[in-house]
Amino acid sequence: MLAVIDLERGEKVTTLKLGDRPWRAYASADGRYMIVPNNGDATVSIVSATTLEVVATLPGAVGVTGVNTDASGKIAFVISRSEEKIVLLDLESLSPAGKIALPGKPETGVLSPHGRKLYVALSGVGKVAVIDVAGRRLDKVIDGVGAEPWGTTMAGAGNYCH
């Protein structure tokens, strides 16, 4: 379940039924959607920020650690630690858009200020994956960043955590 709260009035507006074990809601960069990974059934609920309704439930993954969108809010990058991959979702057509395999267990990611790269920490292997956002592919891996990088952040970026 997802509770929608009006923070100015301090009241619950509605409650939405989502998939099994919904985790955390992430806003798309354009503000159109809230994207909620459901770790219990490996789906992702897409909620319209305008109508406050679930507009799609798409295939996702288990063990999701974060969701980022490209700068336009058209593609969601759903990061799965358990499956060591990123699931891509097309937010225009509300459909699956591919997968990117990763060489380690991904934690959180951050989109660069220019929006061309997504940096994802890979715990256990001491690396950071660099995703080419437009190409929707793993561009390179940065080695030697520490044994257990838990997350990525950068000045000037739209960080959603911490």
Sketch the domain layout of the chain as residue ranges: 2-102
Number of C-beta neighbours around residue 98 at 10 A = 12
Q: What Rg, from alpha-carbon coordinates, does the chain have?
A: 15
Residue-level pLDDT at 162: 43
pTM score, whole prediction: 0.93
The sheet with strand 64-69 has its strands ordered as 64-69, 75-80, 85-90, 95-101
Q: Are 131 and 101 in contact (CB under 8 A)?
A: no
pLDDT band at 160 (very low <50, low <70, confident <90, very high): low
104: left (phi over 0), alpha (psi -120 to 50) or beta: left
Q: Is the dihedral of CA 149, 71, 137, 79 positive or negative?
A: positive
pLDDT tens sequence across 38-76: 999 999 999 999 999 999 999 999 999 899 999 999 999
* Cα distance between residue 141 and residue 143, in whole Å: 6
CATH fold, domain 2-102, is Neuraminidase (2.120.10)
Burial category of 34 from C-beta neighbours within 10 Å (exposed 0-12, middle 13-18, buried 19 and up): buried
